[in-house]
Amino acid sequence: MTRYLAAILLGVALLVTACGPAGTPTLSAADVEGTAVAAAWTVVAATQQAMPTATPVPPSATASPTPPPTFTPFAAPTLSTPSPQPAVQASGTDNCLHPLNMGEAGPTHRVRAENNSGGTINLSLNLWTPNLFAQCGALSWSGKPPGWKEIIMLPGGSWFAYAWIQLKGGKSAEHGNSFTIGYGSDDLIVLDIRADKILAHYP
């Protein structure tokens, strides 16, 4: 009987041991480090998602050369010498905003363009109303450096000069002025382009 009792007690002890709480497993140092790093990156990712996205600042506008504007005359200048009105007037879509037909615009006159602005200029000259030979239109020069001078042969009529000037330090200026070339005159006209204005005068 003692043998049976011992066997029963041994079975009960095994049963109690099997039903008891399991032991806590241990992690290696490498596992602990890996878990901490993974947790840290998870927090960083969550923080980044929670942060508002930065709105990119639009780039600031930079000065750039603009094409010469359309020429709307301030007032119709009078011819320096009496002459009849043009035989043919511009009409329809012919608004004189096109290249000038020099071959049919009549006798030319000497005009000396001078860049006295201290900067680089883009110059446009517009015969803004039909002249005695029923021609009108524009001529242009670009990228002319400081000190540039050139004799330009222009037909008679009512002209408008426009200059876009790129000055030092990134500054720019725009100026315009009207002048008249008389028919039959041979006097030199100087087109004096300065930083603050354009002058048309005799030398």
Q: Distance (Å, rounded) from C-alpha 94 to C-alpha 20?
A: 105
Contact 173, 167 (CB under 8 A): yes
Q: Distance (Å, rounded) from C-alpha 100 to C-alpha 84?
A: 21
pLDDT at 22: 45
Q: Distance (Å, rounded) from C-alpha 179 to C-alpha 112?
A: 13
Beta pairing class for 189-193 and 108-115: parallel
Domain boundaries, the chain: 105-201
Question: DSSP per residue over 93-145, as a string?
Answer: T--S-SB--GGGS-SEEEEEEEE-SSSEEEEEEEE-S--TTS--EEEEEEEEP
Which CATH architecture describes the domain 105-201?
Sandwich (2.60)
Question: pLDDT tens digits, the chain, 203 residues: what are they?
Answer: 555 545 555 555 555 455 544 444 444 544 444 434 444 444 334 434 444 444 444 555 555 555 554 444 444 333 343 333 333 344 444 589 899 999 999 999 999 999 999 999 999 999 999 999 999 999 999 999 999 999 999 999 999 999 999 999 999 999 999 999 998 878 999 999 999 999 999 99
Cα angle 156-162-165, degrees, rounded to a multiple of 5:
140
**Rounded to two decimals, what is the model's pTM?**
0.55
Contact 138, 98 (CB under 8 A): yes
Which of 177, 185, 201 has the alpha carbon at shortest distance from 108?
185
Contact 64, 166 (CB under 8 A): no
pLDDT at 131: 97
Number of residues assigned to the chain: 203
Cβ contacts of 200 within 8 Å, gap of 6 or more: 161, 177, 179, 189, 190, 191, 192
